[in-house]
Copies of this chain bind each other. A is one copy, B any other.
Amino acid sequence: MINADKKRTQILEAAMRRFAHFGMAKTTMAEIAQDLSFSKALLYYYFPDKNALYAAVLEHVIDQSFGTIEAALPSIDDCEQAIMFILDKRIEFVMNYYNLLEHAASAVQQTPDEMARVMEELKDKEITLISQILQKGAGTGQLQIDNARETAEIMLYALAGMRFSLMKDLKGGLFPTKAEFDRILVLQKKMATIFLRGLRKQSA
């Protein structure tokens, strides 16, 4: 069982490197198998097709990234700093996995259920994370919040708005360019700063 999980992880790592470097379209299952000296049959034993593998790779890198963030968060006391840290990490993530993620935009449109599930989970994880930070800020008396989960949702939707609105062309699930992402981060940080100031506890 441990060995089986190890093989699965090896496949995910190899696929991640291929996808991140050459993109999803230009990578074949045969090439990934070759990288590992595995048989193609073994790959297909773990992942029924390239879409399923892609979704699993995405989930894998998302989990890794959340792991890094969650490990660092406890040492950040100020909730404004914590949010800014997450925003930076998010963009860093996008930049690191640009080629990998570019496919996600169109994959969601073709909506293999697997991808829809990964995106739903990502959304839920982000809401939970932000909501914990807001809750912590409320606990220390820094913020005043009625409903931490809804407030986290509103904040994440607002941040997402920076992205959608900056893209000139939304057809075909187009992915922002790297320059657009730079501008998006600047606006997201300004948005978050104003938003968090709006949540600050007013001294009565």
Residues of A within 8 A of B (CB): 108-109, 111, 150-151, 153-154, 156-162, 164-166, 169-171, 173, 187, 190-191, 193-199
CB closest chain-B residue, reference A156: B165
What is the predominant secondary structure among interface residues of chain A facing chain B?
helix
> Could you say how many copies of this chain the assembly holds?
2
Do A198 and B187 have beta carbons less than 8 Å apart? no
Complex-state Cα separation, A161 to B108, whole angstroms: 18
Residues of B within 8 Å of A194, CB to CB, are: 151, 154, 195, 198-199
Residues of B within 8 Å of A195, CB to CB, are: 158, 194-195, 198
Complex-state Cα separation, A187 to B156, whole angstroms: 12
Do A191 and B109 have beta carbons less than 8 Å apart? no
A153-B187, A154-B162, A157-B158 are known contacts; what are 9 more A-B pairs with Cβ within 8 Å?
Answer: A151-B194, A156-B165, A157-B162, A157-B164, A160-B161, A160-B165, A193-B198, A194-B199, A198-B199
Contact residue among B154, B191, B199 (Cβ-Cβ distance under 8 Å from A187) = B154
Most buried by B among A111, A156, A191: A191
Do A109 and B171 have beta carbons less than 8 Å apart? yes
